[in-house]
Amino acid sequence: MNKMDKALGKLDELPRAGLWAQPTIIEELPRLAEANGGARLFMKRDDMTGLAFGGNKIRQLEFYLGEAVAEGADVVLITGAVQSNFVRMAAAGARKLGMDCHIQLEERVSKNDPAYRNSGNVLIDRLLGATLHSYPHGEDEAGADRALHAIADDLKAKGSKPYVIHLSPGHPPLGALGYVVAAREIVSQCADEKLVFDEIVVASGSGATHAGLLFGLRALGDQVPVTGICVRRPADVQKGRIVERCTEIGEILGIPSPVVEDDVVVLDEFLAPGYGRMSQKVADAMGLAARQEAVITDPVYTAKTLAGFLARARDAAPTSKMLMIHTGGMPAVFAYEKDVAAAFLPDAG
């Protein structure tokens, strides 16, 4: 075990399902930087993980599904928003490992148009053969988990061996370990490519990606500032969630959390008008990246993160180097067809 591995405690002893070829690249975006002004821009392309349109959630699912396989499960259950990338990737990972998948879709966004209900991630869920369920609330994580367990109990009574991926706090955040691994990957890539970043920007939603990345970097002695862009909750609520996730990661790995409260930086100025809804700032960032670098972002997570990333870069020195974690979410672009068309094709229809 080398020094880097030892710093991360029991990470490599935990069950993990290998579902994609690693690592993802770190790409410089010079045209976007020139158009934006300010710092040099780089992107960690976790949208390129491959399986079923890719995205960062496969990192998290390697640990959840690794545990599911170790327990002998034959069906995976997960809950999320109607256009959740996580549930789409869970269905893909389950199929790759020979398991069924039951997906519970929560009403987090008040959109009833056919594209949102049937295209994008939902279409891929159906193509993968997942069984879909609905949950009428969007801000009731504990209730969503209880409903998921009711489905699991029914499956168990019929002879299945279900594995539940929980949403609410109070359960070990195994998925966050995927970004502890990503942190190790980034540190190694930076050493190989002689890169030193002045800031890393990442979406902050459930908290697993943000907390795992921050924990991993600090455990490895990397003090680069990590800024989380809120995509679901206001900053005052999200900060406590990240601190708590970091403590829980330490408990899983058998090491104290190296993250102190001042390490947790979250910004919510790009959250409005709310989860899963676009603003002009988000549309502008989405269009700029697409037209300067052919980088596609989605309205829910990555375009909001990109808007924050570009704003931070404009305030930084031209010699600064900034890295954004592109977490994927491509199918959601099609689900938000009306919003995207209104922003970029105002005369359409």
Residue with tokens 């800024």: 227
Q: Considering the chain, what percentage of its residues have pLDDT values greater than 70?
A: 98
Q: In terms of domains, do 86 and 184 share one?
A: no
Residue 235 lies in a domain: yes
Evaluate whether residue 193 is within a structural domain: yes
Q: Is 110 a catalytic residue?
A: no
The catalytic residue among 84, 204, 206, 279 is: 84
As given in the structure block, the two tokens for residue 83 are 């256009």
pLDDT of residue 316: 96
- 80 and 212 both lie in a single domain: no
pLDDT at 171 over 60: yes
The pLDDT value recorded for residue 345 is: 74
pLDDT at 214: 98
Evaluate whether residue 34 is within a structural domain: yes
192 lies in some domain = yes
Residue 301 is encoded by which pair of tokens?
Answer: 């997570």
Pair (212, 236) in one structural domain? yes
Residue 125 and residue 157 in one domain: yes
Establish if 315 belongs to a structural domain.
yes
Q: Which of 273, 277, 336, 297 is nearest to 121 (CA)?
A: 336
Domain-embedded: residue 86: yes
Q: Rounded to 5 degrees, what angle do the CA atoms 116, 92, 205 make?
A: 60
Q: What is the dihedral of CA 6, 9, 11, 12, to 10 degrees?
A: 40
Q: Are 148 and 289 contained in the same domain?
A: no
Q: Is residue 123's pLDDT more than 90?
A: yes
Which pTM value belongs to this model?
Answer: 0.95
Write down the pLDDT at residue 349.
43
Residues 135 and 197 placed together within one structural domain of the fold: no
Residues 204 and 333 in one domain: yes
HSE-up of residue 205 (Cα within 13 Å, Cβ side): 21
CA 151 to CA 103: how far, in whole Å? 10
Classify residue 295 by burial, with Cβ atoms within 10 Å: 0-12, 13-18, 19+.
Answer: buried
Q: How many CB atoms lie within 10 A of CB 187?
A: 17
Show which of 165, 183, 204 is a domain's final residue: 165
**Distance between CA atoms of 215 and 11, rounded to whole angstroms?**
12
What would the pLDDT profile of 302-332 be if each residue is shown by its tens digit?
999 999 999 999 999 999 999 999 999 999 9
Q: What is the mean pLDDT of the chain?
A: 95
- Number of Cβ within 10 Å of residue 70's Cβ equals 13
Mind listing the pLDDT tens digit for each residue in 205-264?
999 999 999 999 999 999 999 999 999 999 999 999 999 999 999 999 999 999 999 999
d(CA 63, CA 181): 11
Nearest to 205 by CA among 178, 242, 243, 174: 242
Find the mean pLDDT for residues 144-173.
96
Where does a domain end: 148, 165, 182?
A: 165
Please, which pLDDT band fits residue 347 given cuts at 50, 70 and 90?
Answer: low
Closest by alpha carbon to 108, among 99, 97, 121? Answer: 121
Q: Which of 271, 290, 191, 263 is nearest to 231 (CA)?
A: 271
Residue 234 sits in a domain of what CATH number? 3.40.50.1100
Distance separating alpha carbons of residues 245 and 116, to the nearest angstrom: 31
User: Does 26 reside within a domain?
Assistant: yes
Rounded distance, CA 144 to CA 152, Å? 12
Whether residues 186 and 95 fall in one domain: no
The rounded distance, in Å, linking the Cα atoms of 73 and 86 is 19
81 in the same domain as 28: no
Q: Report, as an integer, the average pLDDT of 106-129.
A: 94
What digits encode the pLDDT tens for the residues 48-99? 999 999 999 999 999 999 999 999 999 999 999 999 999 999 999 999 999 9
Of 117, 144, 165, at which residue does a domain stop? Answer: 165
Range of 78's domain? 73-165
Please tell me whether residues 177 and 152 are part of one structural domain: no
Exposed, middle or buried by CB within 10 Å (0-12, 13-18, 19+), for 225?
middle
Number of independent structural domains in the chain: 2
For the record, the structure tokens of 157 come out as: 């009574």
61 in a structural domain: no
Q: What is the pLDDT of residues 2-42, one digit of tens each?
A: 666 788 999 999 999 999 888 999 999 999 999 999 999 99
State whether 106 and 35 are in the same domain.
no
| Shared-domain flag, residues 30 and 96 | no
